[in-house]
Amino acid sequence: MAVFKYEKLDRLGNVKKGTVSAVSYDHAAKKIVAMGGELVKLDEDKGGFWDKIARVKKRDIIVFTHGLVTLQKAGVPLLLSLNSLVDLTANKKMKRIEQDIIMAVDSGDSFSNALSRFPEMFGGMYIAMVKVAEATGKLDEILEKLHTTMEKEEDLKSQFKSALAYPCVVSIATLGIIFFILTFIVPKFVEVFQGMGVKMPFLTQVLIDFSGFIKTKGILIVPVLAVISLVFKKIAKIGRVKFFFDSFKLKIPVAGKLFREMILSHFAHSLYILLESGISIIESLGLVGNTLGNEVLARDVKQMSEYVSNGNSITEFIKLKRMFPSLVIQMISVGEESGALSNMLKEISDFYDNEIQRSLKTLLSMLEPLMIVVVGLMIGGILITLMMPLFGMLSGFSVQ
């Protein structure tokens, strides 16, 4: 299915412009004529440069799922629901994906198979749950669980980003002040020192040389940093390198604890909804392991899946690996013994959500004074280094 741009004349002779989704040119023309008016111009909208490089964000998938849940609950047939959603989608790339899904479903393919054409967008867990929903006839219920899970994860990410907003703003402001000092204040002092014939201390000379570099070649810093960032991102995706960085993230004081809590909350909640949807524990662990976003814990979950497939319990494995604190291990043990593991996993997810809130507050309370100290030391250090020639002159006068 493609998007077509059209121009038509209404009954008053006014030109109306718009877009319509259709399988072919003729199909688009019939749809426009059916809407009323005289078709003047019709072209396929292939999208511009920015449309081609646009990416589908998690928010686009959440909005798509939420819309589908609403329409399914209202009793609207799946194909009609998908057609209704595609006309409301703003992201051109997401719109084309939805159109491909519509075409597949319209040709007789299942919804889960249509989604499986875009695994990088929807993920194995999403597709597996939709497949179960089709088999059980509970598409609206399972889509609602998926929507709730994705919203919860986005809320956690949003809270984490909000916690980092203050240090980011302070860091940018500090860099701006340092740039101003190096490009405007330092050169003025250099002129004064040269006029007085003052001998520069080593640290002051280094600061002056760095100031000169920033002033003459500072424009190169941004593209160089951009290239380094891109290379770093590519390298960070390599298996062993990613494992190293993921391991390092979990060991950062305070922040590492927060990262672990966010991942384990995701693990518990995702495993809960998969088990509630009727997916086996082995398959559920395999699906959850691929969504954690951390190679260290993903490896642990993969080993857990193999351990459980050999007839062992989850409790035995997490005791060996020390993945959870004692309280959580006891909760999982009770859940396994009572046959209510999924309900206990939901309780664990809620427990970690509360822990995340506390960890975020702790992180913020530590970052604010730490940033003040760091900024003070950086700017104070630059100013003291700049004033060192004057201190030398004053000490010389006092000796005389």
The answer as to whether 22 is a domain residue is: yes
What is the model's pLDDT at position 120? 85
The phi and psi torsions of 19 (rounded to 5 degrees) equal -130, 155
Tokens in use for 211?
């100031």
Contacts of residue 200, Cβ cutoff 8 Å, sequence gap at least 6: 193, 208, 389
Domain boundary among 94, 122, 144: 144
Contacts of residue 174, Cβ cutoff 8 Å, sequence gap at least 6: 375, 378, 379
- Contact by Cβ (8 Å): 156, 262: yes
Tokens in use for 225?
């940093």
Per-residue pLDDT tens over the stretch 35-85? 777 887 887 766 655 555 668 888 999 999 999 999 999 999 998 999 888
The answer as to whether 51 is a domain residue is: no
pLDDT band at 199 (very low <50, low <70, confident <90, very high): confident
Same domain, 11 and 27: yes
Domain boundary among 85, 114, 144: 144
Q: How far is CA 285 from CA 291, 292, 304, in A?
A: 10, 11, 8
pLDDT band at 362 (very low <50, low <70, confident <90, very high): confident
Domain count, the chain: 3
Residue 48, SS3?
coil
**How many Cβ atoms are within 10 Å of 323's Cβ, its own excluded?**
19
Which amino acid is located at 51 in the chain? D
pLDDT at 27 over 70: yes
| Least confident range of 50-59, 100-109, 228-237, 277-286 | 50-59
Tokens in use for 392?
């030398």
Tokens in use for 248?
């390092």
DSSP summary character for residue 116: T
What is the model's pLDDT at position 287? 87
Tokens in use for 362?
């702790």
**What interhelical angle do 281-289 and 119-136 show, nearest 10?**
160
Task: Quote the CA–CA distance of 111 and 102 in Å, as a whole number.
Answer: 9
Residue with more model confidence, 52 or 109: 109
The answer as to whether 41 is a domain residue is: yes
What is the model's pLDDT at position 371? 86
The answer as to whether 52 is a domain residue is: no
- Contact by Cβ (8 Å): 62, 147: yes
What is the model's pLDDT at position 104? 85
| Residue 25 structural domain | 2-46
Same domain, 230 and 283: yes
Task: Quote the CA–CA distance of 370 and 82 in Å, as a whole number.
Answer: 51
Same domain, 24 and 96: no
Same domain, 322 and 346: yes
Tokens in use for 60?
């686009």
Same domain, 205 and 80: no
What is the model's pLDDT at position 240? 84
pLDDT band at 112 (very low <50, low <70, confident <90, very high): very high
Domain boundary among 122, 144, 166: 144
Q: Rounded to the nearest 10 degrees, how much is the dihedral formed by the CA atoms of 62, 233, 287, 318?
A: -120
Contacts of residue 142, Cβ cutoff 8 Å, sequence gap at least 6: 129, 130, 132, 133, 136, 277
Mean pLDDT (the chain, rounded): 84
Same domain, 364 and 269: yes
What is the model's pLDDT at position 49? 52
pLDDT band at 399 (very low <50, low <70, confident <90, very high): very low
| Least confident range of 51-55, 83-87, 118-122, 193-197 | 51-55
| 266-282 mean pLDDT | 88
Burial label, 23 (beta-carbon count in 10 A; 0-12, 13-18, 19+): middle
Same domain, 168 and 188: yes
Same domain, 231 and 372: yes
- Contact by Cβ (8 Å): 129, 273: yes
Q: Residue 394 sits in a domain of what CATH number?
A: 1.20.81.30
**How many Cβ atoms are within 10 Å of 368's Cβ, its own excluded?**
12
Same domain, 365 and 279: yes
The answer as to whether 332 is a domain residue is: yes
| 150-177 mean pLDDT | 86
**Most distant CA pair in the chain, distance:** 100
Contacts of residue 315, Cβ cutoff 8 Å, sequence gap at least 6: 329, 332, 333, 336
Task: Quote the CA–CA distance of 311 and 332 in Å, as a whole number.
Answer: 16
pLDDT band at 192 (very low <50, low <70, confident <90, very high): confident
What is the model's pLDDT at position 377? 92
| Least confident range of 4-13, 49-58, 287-296 | 49-58
Same domain, 152 and 187: yes
What is the model's pLDDT at position 63? 92
What is the model's pLDDT at position 197? 76
Same domain, 90 and 109: yes
Same domain, 90 and 193: no
Q: How far is CA 397 from CA 5, 194, 201, 388, 392, in A?
A: 81, 18, 17, 14, 9
The answer as to whether 8 is a domain residue is: yes
Partner residues linked to 39 by β-bridges: 8
Task: Quote the CA–CA distance of 5 and 28 in Å, as a whole number.
Answer: 9
